[in-house]
Structure 1
Amino acid sequence: MSAPMSAPDFIKRSAAHAVEQDRALSDSVARMLAELETGGEAVAQRMARDLDRFEGDIVVSDEAIAAACKRVPQKLKDDIAWAQENIARFAQAQRDSIRETEVELRPGLVAGQRLIPVQAAGCYVPGGRYSHIASAMMTVTTAKIAGVPHIAAVSPPRADAPAGVPDAILYTLNLCGADRVLALGGIQGVAAMAFGLFGLPRADILVGPGNQYVAEAKRLLYGRVGIDMVAGPTDSLVIADRTADPLVVAWDLIGQAEHGANSPVWLVTDSAELATEVARLAPLCAEELPEPNRSAAKAAWDGLGEIILCKDRDEMAAEADRIAPEHLHVQAADLDWWKGRLCCYGSLFLGEDSTVAFGDKAAGTNHVLPTSGAARYTGGLSVHKFLKTVTWQQVDHRALPRLAAVTASISRFEGMEGHARTADIRLARLGQNS
């Protein structure tokens, strides 16, 4: 009988603990959604005025988008196009990996599957403290490759943007193929897509990251519409052994901590020397950032950063699987072993030359990923989220006798006589027609 695995040591432990769902926030979001569903566009416009201080046009016109595109510097356009091509090519590879299927299970019994895109997708593009160009690419491009006929996008309006939505985001949405753009954020933006306001079709699915109000609105609407996931604060874990560069590791942790004070980061290592040096360097890296990034990174590192010392790579892998991070970065020897062993993560970054920021912005894999341990049971946004895998079947006289008899037998054992009769009548009709 093998000895139980020892628990890892915490060189630095999180000062914060998980909190229960904020009931006041949930109740507030529910009230706002109900008001928006009843009052429609007038309520959405009032909320835009009250919450975002925005009184411009909610629907961004084609002319405004064209003007915004002209204002975007060519270098930024080229960079966005390069990244968007990577995202589109990876999404296309995902789409090509699944196919429609038809199989004759028994003589005369044919079954199959079809891949049908949803008819309308709603993409939320954050635009508060940061202008998330990348989120526009990740959501709209992926829906487009999946074949969604109508793609709407909403983004919070900003006073410094001529059309409400920043020029670079409008350029990106236009490049990626959004059919309609609204200068509308928060709960009212989510509601506009879900309820079909401002000329939008009602969304079949809502995707994209957002703040806690956006996440709660999506959670409450789930069931009436599909959603990509219920997302919490972004998180990131680095696995590093003695071969890793402590400064690179420290920057990879702090680079993700700048998302906000509620963004956890972890270092899992089997090297006490590396752990000690990263603990020394990480606060120094945070100090180098400009504000408000500096304060956000320092708060996240101080309150939620952890350094976990394990005895070997098996314990390191087990600890990473337990945490199930959104982003998992391996800076250790034998990358093939890690790729084959690890199983709970949103996206995996292998080797020192990879970094989470590459996946966040331009490498091609999607950055809309499961957080808060949800990587134990789901992956991130992909073309699969926009496709319905539906099944069909067709039966002829060769398969009918046995199929009807088995169905009637199982149905009667279950006590479902009506089901059995639907099989019986077909068997009787077959006998009459033979």
Structure 2
Amino acid sequence: MIRKLKEGRDPSAVAADQATVRATVEGIIADVRARGDVAVRELSIRFDKWDRTDFRLTDAEIRACLAELSEQNLSDIRFAQEQVRNFAQHQREALRDIEIETLPGVVLGHKNIPVQSVGCYVPGGKYPLLASAHMSVITAKVAGVPRIFTAAPPYEGRPAAAIVAAQHLAGADEIYCLGGV
């Protein structure tokens, strides 16, 4: 006798949910295109209960987040980031620029050139993914990207201290507290 522990959802219900999600996302994108920062602010209030005119965190706000964490928490973040940085440096060293002359006057090769700017999203909420800050910001730093900015959602209406610390200690140049939108 077959005994089912769990059944999947009705395919028509899944399709209806997907259509609703798609329509919602398309509406948000259209609203942001049409109304820009005004829409972003309204959506931030709606999704994250986070009301600001400027979503970039100040140095004082970043320091306040760092002060919320214990020395052990900060030490753990630094340790994890050092491991990521060490491996990223070894990876970077393996990506050598080459240039060879295959025939007289025929020069072939490649050169690794970092992009000028990188935006990194760090998921947050109930289960923040600090490793996203480590892996994205540190690897971009090691690659030589000159401008790295990050965005992470607020949690319970304020910046998530551990995520802000991870972004800052990884070397983000600009940190934005913005996510749901």
TM-score bracket relative to the smaller structure: 0.7 to 0.9
Once residues 128 and 49 of structure 2 are traced to their aligned partners in structure 1, the CA distance between those partners, rounded to angstroms, is 18
For the aligned residue pairs, the C-alpha RMSD in angstroms reads 2.3
In the alignment, which of 139, 142, 164 is matched to residue 139 of structure 2?
A: 142
Alignment partner, residue 175 of structure 1: 169
Alignment partner, residue 148 of structure 2: 151
Is 1:54–1:158's contact at 8 Å kept on the other side of the alignment? no
Once residues 84 and 14 of structure 1 are traced to their aligned partners in structure 2, the CA distance between those partners, rounded to angstroms, is 40
Once residues 119 and 130 of structure 1 are traced to their aligned partners in structure 2, the CA distance between those partners, rounded to angstroms, is 31
In the alignment, which of 36, 43, 64 is matched to residue 47 of structure 1?
A: 43
Higher relative contact order (CA 8 A, sep 6+): 2
Alignment partner, residue 165 of structure 1: 159
Once residues 126 and 51 of structure 1 are traced to their aligned partners in structure 2, the CA distance between those partners, rounded to angstroms, is 14
Cα deviation, residue 14, structure 1: 7.8
Alignment partner, residue 85 of structure 1: 82
Is 2:126–2:155's contact at 8 Å kept on the other side of the alignment? no
Once residues 80 and 50 of structure 2 are traced to their aligned partners in structure 1, the CA distance between those partners, rounded to angstroms, is 31
Which of the two has higher C-alpha Rg? 1
Structure 1 residues 38 and 118: alpha-carbon distance in aligned structure 2, compared to 1, 3 A threshold: farther
Q: Which amino acid in structure 2 is aligned with residue 180 of structure 1?
A: E
Is 1:152–1:180's contact at 8 Å kept on the other side of the alignment? yes
Cα deviation, residue 13, structure 1: 9.4
Deviation digits for residues 203-244 of structure 1, max 9, x if unmatched? Answer: xxxxxxxxxxxxxxxxxxxxxxxxxxxxxxxxxxxxxxxxxx
| Match status 1:110 vs 2:107 | yes
Alignment partner, residue 116 of structure 2: 119
The count of corresponding residues between Structure 1 and Structure 2 is 173
Is 2:56–2:177's contact at 8 Å kept on the other side of the alignment? yes
Query: Please, what TM-score do these two structures have when normalized by structure 1?
Result: 0.37
Query: Please, what TM-score do these two structures have when normalized by structure 2?
Result: 0.85
Cα deviation, residue 30, structure 1: 2.3
Structure 1: 5+ residue runs without aligned partners?
A: 1-11, 189-434
Alignment partner, residue 24 of structure 2: 28
Structure 2: 5+ residue runs without aligned partners?
A: none
| Match status 1:95 vs 2:92 | yes
Alignment partner, residue 69 of structure 1: 66
1 or 2, which has the higher helix percentage?
2
